[in-house]
Amino acid sequence: MSKIWLITGASRGLGREIARAARDAGATVVATARSPAAVREAFGGEQDRLHAFALDITDAQAANAVASEAVERFGAIDVLVNNAGYAELGFFETFTEAAVRRQFDVNLFGTMNVARAVAPHMRARRSGLIVTISSVSGLVSNAGGAIYSASKFAVEGWMEGFAQELAPLGVRSLLVEPGMLRTDFMDGASARFGSIDIPDYAEAVAQYRAFVDRANGSQPGDPARLAERIVALAAQDPPPARLVFGDDARQWAGAKIDQLRQEIAQSADA
């Protein structure tokens, strides 16, 4: 029997690739985005096993409505892929309070809205998988990524605990922590930059913007390959708790682990 996948942010980038890979593997896909027309355009129209739904994940009522409609139409939600999100890139003090709150409203609270809408259906069936697209930036933070990392660190802490609450009820979890992927994530269609000019940071901010411009479109990670990995792991019982994807992500995460080990050792009582 065909599995039912619900994917957020499915009109472009990694979400689109996951929707395509799940469909090609035989799943029925509920592909959501703020604009369902963008989903249909990405996939050449509505298809037998791919259905476009409108969803702004910051709207909790809309998330509940989409989850209920998906269950009513297709009988279940077997896999939720919480993928929708964006990045505020730049130095912390260059962001307004509103920009910071918007980052958390989407990346954390929006993701929570969708999980809260879907989890009861999975609990009732004692079955399901929640795939949460985080980032290696949820494990490691650097200058220029403080706000984005803060939102992803929060996602990691929430989902790590929530997964343990769900596990006894038959609902599994997979946290995905990619490195830099070749998507439009770093261009103006997704990423946003701080709007406050601070002379002390001017040179460093200019260098950071130049780095982002150079990296955009030439990132090492292949989103289609990651999508295939996610679909394969979703069929694995049980899936791993985490997938750290990409040589860059594994290098950065490994360096953070080494740093933590050293700092823990240094923290020991003499």
- Closest Cα partner for 220 from 245, 242, 243, 244? 245
Domains and CATH numbers, the chain: 4-85+108-185+221-267 (3.40.50.720)
pLDDT computed for residue 220 by the predictor = 56
- pLDDT tens digits, 148-169: 999 999 999 999 999 999 999 9
Mean pLDDT for all residues in the chain: 93
**C-beta neighbour count of 119 within 10 angstroms:** 20
- pLDDT tens digits, 216-226: 766 656 899 99
In angstroms, the Cα distances linking 155 to 37, 79, 159 are: 29, 18, 6
- pLDDT tens digits, 253-268: 999 999 999 999 999 8
Q: How far apart are the first and last CA of the chain?
A: 61
Q: Tell me how far apart the alpha carbons of residues 34 and 48 are, in angstroms, rounded to a whole number.
A: 21
- pLDDT tens digits, 165-213: 999 999 999 999 998 876 666 566 556 788 899 999 999 999 988 888 7
* Residue with the larger pLDDT of the pair 188 and 93: 93
Tell me the catalytic residues.
134, 148, 152
